[in-house]
Structure 1
Amino acid sequence: MTKLREWSASRIHYFSGKKQKPKKSKVQVHRLAWRKRSEEKAAAGKNMELKNLKLYMENMSILEENENLRKKANLLHQENLALYSEFEKKVSHLDRVSATLNVIRDGARV
């Protein structure tokens, strides 16, 4: 009787026009899952590499900009020192002229 049921079930299935998906063995399912995880890890690794490369390039750009700003700051400092020195010379010269005029004025009063 069981053979008859099996035969009837397969015959009905055959004539119904529906196709059954072939069952995958557990080994195939595990291999597919493992492959999928491996591909996901590889994709995540590539994403991480791209992010790392972008950050590295951004860091290099910042370092280059920092170096340029340091050079400009050094030039401005040198210019500031030169202007301050020039200012001190003029103030010193004005002090001497002022002192000379005071001596002349004081001599004229006496």
Structure 2
Amino acid sequence: MFINASAWYPDSSSCSPLRRWRPKRSKLRLLRLSRRRSRRVSVAVGTEMELKNLKLYLENQSIIEENEKLRKKAILLHQENRELMIELKKKFSNLGDLPKSNPSSSQHRL
């Protein structure tokens, strides 16, 4: 019922330190390469995002400037509109002092 002891342990060639070390070394190389690639990609993505951010910031600034110009124009137009309404009310108030002739009432008398 005992199993051969050599069956439990692998042969000495598969357990040599060189054989064990090489896979770890290659794994480390792969890890380093993948880290470098990911850093390059993240740097590329980071600079791309910075450029997009800068473009959007500049576009936003120009929109804000244009908005400010339009707001000033709107204020001037509102003031001009108020002045014109005051003049119009003055003209109509002067017309209100004149006697009004109602043509419909003169037609009913006939």
Q: When the two structures are superposed, what TM-score results if normalisation uses the length of structure 2? A: 0.69
Alignment counterpart, residue 39 of structure 1, candidates 20, 25, 29? 29
2:72 counterpart of 1:82 = yes
Quick one: distance in 2 between partners of 1:25 and 1:106?
115
Aligned-pair identity in percent equals 3
Q: Which is helix-richer, 1 or 2?
A: 1
Quick one: distance in 2 between partners of 1:109 and 1:85?
39
Pairwise CA RMSD:
1.9
SS of aligned partner of 2:28: helix
Please identify runs of 4+ aligned residues in structure 1 that moved more than 3 A: none
SS of aligned partner of 1:109: coil
- The residue that corresponds to 2:81 in the other structure is 91
SS of aligned partner of 2:60: helix
Quick one: distance in 2 between partners of 1:109 and 1:87?
35
Quick one: distance in 2 between partners of 1:50 and 1:38?
18
Task: Please give the residue correspondences for 1:59-78 in structure 2 after superposition, counting only pairs within 5 Å.
Answer: 59-78=49-68
Deviations 1:39-81 (A, max 9, x none): 1011111111112101210221122022102211211221121
Q: Tell me, which stretches of 5 or more residues in structure 2 are unaligned?
A: 1-12, 101-110
Please report how far the alpha carbon of residue 88 of structure 1 lies from its aligned counterpart in structure 2 after TM superposition. 0.7
- The residue that corresponds to 1:26 in the other structure is 16
- The residue that corresponds to 1:9 in the other structure is none
Q: Tell me, which stretches of 5 or more residues in structure 1 are unaligned?
A: 1-22
- The residue that corresponds to 1:50 in the other structure is 40
